[in-house]
Amino acid sequence: MSPAKSQASRQSSTTVKGITTMKTTRIALIALSLTAAAAGSTAAFASDMNGKTRAQVHAELLQAQRDGTLIANNMNGATFRDLNPGQYPARQAATSMTRAQVQAELAEARSNGTLIANNMNGATYRDLHPGLYPAKQAKTTVTRAQVQAELAEARRNGTLIANNMSGATYRDLYPGNFPAKRDNEASLLGLGEISTTTRLN
């Protein structure tokens, strides 16, 4: 045999051995995974053995047939109740409110406009037609006299907002027109104004 032929035959035998080794490894892994799956399914069957009796399963099946909760279409999971709702009794809704309470709540929602008018965006009738419903009364604990006193105090101190865009007060814009600010802590102690040079902030 020539040296070129012997080298080619050695390469083909190593290639065949490599392929054989890969096939053997693949078959071993498949066998191992099948064994593990079989062991797992046996454990699952064993746990089901201690579950429901035949009579319990049969009773559940009959109840599902009566209620319409039995799966009718495996493709989309639809139940017989979904496909034929008129053939099964209506489900009882669990609620803690009486019929009279629900009707009173509905009447109140209609009268004040809080009933949902558009399910797509949740808009109420008040949102869509505000002129048809009475204005909401703002609940306030401040009297008119108190508001006027606060306004007069803000004018006197210059804390009234002068520019809505920047939030600047009249004191910020015209500091010489208003009395000097008293330091809160100093005023609580009855002391005069603390100059900005002696502050430690």
Count, in order, helices (H) and strands (E) of the chain.
Answer: 8, 6
Residue partners of 69: CB distance under 8 A and separation at least 6: 79, 80, 81
pTM here? Answer: 0.27
For the chain, what are the domain ranges? 3-87, 99-132, 144-189
pLDDT truncated to tens, each residue of the chain (201 aa)?
555 555 555 555 555 555 677 778 788 778 877 877 776 666 555 555 678 899 999 899 888 888 888 888 777 888 888 888 888 777 776 778 889 999 999 999 988 888 888 777 788 888 888 888 887 777 778 889 999 999 999 888 888 888 888 888 888 888 888 877 665 555 555 555 555 554 444
